[in-house]
Structure 1
Amino acid sequence: MTTAIYLASASPRRKELLSQLGIEFTQFSVDADESQNNNESPQVYVERLARLKAQTGVQQGYTDRPVLGSDTVVVIDNQALVKPVDFNDFYTTFKRLSGNTHQVLTAIAFADERQVLSCVVSTDVTFRTVTDEEITAYWQSGEPHDKAGGYGIQGLGGRFITHIAGSYFAVVGLPLYETEALLTRFLKR
């Protein structure tokens, strides 16, 4: 695929993953309100954010090629878990994930001045039981601080995972197959 796009994300993980598709892109960050609306399901929430980021890029003047927006949330008991605000928040989250299966929802959206096209990819992730000492040591590593749900599957957090069902790349932050397929659909419209 030779199309050039914009990536509306400051994420180094998304940049690295998008590079694997061989798509030429320019990366920039957008400032968007990421608050979840009252009674908004995690799926609607994550898709709204991806669409908002892509559309914000278009509004900022990135109009000569498609803009890709993306967002990821970790979901347990139908509650979206975002980036931890402090150790106590992280500890509570990790105790919920420990020994359980949760979902990671990653939404992607392409936008230009004419249209917005989006989808959500869901992956089930199972954690082994994690001890309090492991939770504290993982927090102290610094890795959980900027990650949805407080962990990175591609880093130190991968050692807690016993099973995934779905897209590994969606858990990292950008589902490769779905991104390429959505871009192909977007360009044909």
Structure 2
Amino acid sequence: MGRLVLASSSPRRREILSLLGLDFEVIPPSVEEDAQGHPITVARVLSRKKALEVWKGNRDALVIGADTLVFVGNRTIGKPRDEEEAYEILSFLSGRWHRVVTAVSFVGMGVRVTLHDVARVRFRELSREEIYAYIDTGEPMDKAGAYGVQGFGATIVDRIDGNFYTVMGLPVVKVYGVLKNLSIL
């Protein structure tokens, strides 16, 4: 097997992929996240763009690119630009269900595969004070939907229907399946 490269700057994705006991490199892509359309389609397109961009400079590698989006209906809820937007997002999600899609693309070694997984997440009702206290942790600022389920954000998530790791940013069961089929595991 050639090299395995994770095309992501996410420490969460690095942590999840490490669970599989693989040796891999991390090369963050520099892709504009400007795709339009349904959130599932957008996540799939962006994961593929990220994997392809890194693969072009690493053609001896199997590159894994991923993208995670939070959405309600067809409305995508991205990363907050500032604390005010984080408050708006968290207030909007308070007490309601939303969906999280993580798409993963594998490019290289004769392979071009894109898959995705969707989980439903429900926040408990959040008070104004709780939202500001969570924003003060700094955790919401670099995450789609303004929360991280693996950190202090776990205190605001009431229920998950689906795979926890999909919400965290890499559906490890599906990634494992692809890598196993490719005889990498």
Q: TM-score, normalised by structure 1?
A: 0.92
Q: Which secondary structure does the structure 1 equivalent of 2:92 belong to?
A: helix
Q: Is the 8 A contact 1:108 1:119 kept in 2?
A: yes
Give the alignment partner of residue 103 of structure 1, picking from 99, 102, 125. Answer: 99
Residue in 2 aligned with 1:119? 115
Residue in 2 aligned with 1:16? 15
1:149 aligns with 2:153: no
Q: Is the 8 A contact 2:60 2:109 kept in 1?
A: no
Residue in 1 aligned with 2:71? 75
Residue in 2 aligned with 1:55? 52
Q: Which secondary structure does the structure 2 equivalent of 1:33 belong to?
A: coil
Give the 4+ runs in structure 1 shifted more than 6 A. Answer: none
Q: Which secondary structure does the structure 2 equivalent of 1:106 belong to?
A: strand
Equivalences for 1:84-99 in 2 at 5 Å?
84-99=80-95
Residue in 2 aligned with 1:42? 39
Letter in 2 for 1:20: L
Deviation string, structure 1 residues 103-145 (Cα, Å, up to 9, x no partner) = 1100101001644201110001111100111111111110001
Do the aligned partners of residues 21 and 4 (structure 1) sit closer, same or farther apart at CA in structure 2, a change above 3 Å counting?
farther
Unpaired runs of 5+ in structure 1? none
Letter in 1 for 2:10: S
Residue in 2 aligned with 1:30? 29
Q: Distance in 1 between matches of 2:3 and 2:154?
A: 32
Deviation string, structure 1 residues 77-96 (Cα, Å, up to 9, x no partner) = 22111110012211111111
Q: Distance in 1 between matches of 2:170 and 2:113?
A: 16
Q: Distance in 2 between matches of 1:182 and 1:85?
A: 35
Give, in angstroms, the shift of residue 34 of structure 1: 0.3
Q: Which secondary structure does the structure 1 equivalent of 2:9 belong to?
A: coil
Q: Which segment is superposed worse, 107-116 or 41-50?
A: 107-116
Q: Which segment is superposed worse, 153-162 or 85-94?
A: 85-94
Alignment coverage as a number of residue pairs: 184
Q: Distance in 2 between matches of 1:183 and 1:52?
A: 20
Q: Distance in 2 between matches of 1:5 and 1:167?
A: 24
Q: Distance in 2 between matches of 1:28 and 1:183?
A: 19
Cα RMSD of the aligned pairs, angstroms, is: 1.7
Unpaired runs of 5+ in structure 2? none
Percent identity over the alignment?
A: 36
Give, in angstroms, the shift of residue 185 of structure 1: 3.8
Do the aligned partners of residues 158 and 74 (structure 1) sit closer, same or farther apart at CA in structure 2, a change above 3 Å counting?
same
Q: Which secondary structure does the structure 2 equivalent of 1:58 belong to?
A: helix
Letter in 2 for 1:43: I
Q: Distance in 1 between matches of 2:95 and 2:4?
A: 40
Do the aligned partners of residues 107 and 6 (structure 1) sit closer, same or farther apart at CA in structure 2, a change above 3 Å counting?
same
Q: Is the 8 A contact 2:35 2:46 kept in 1?
A: no
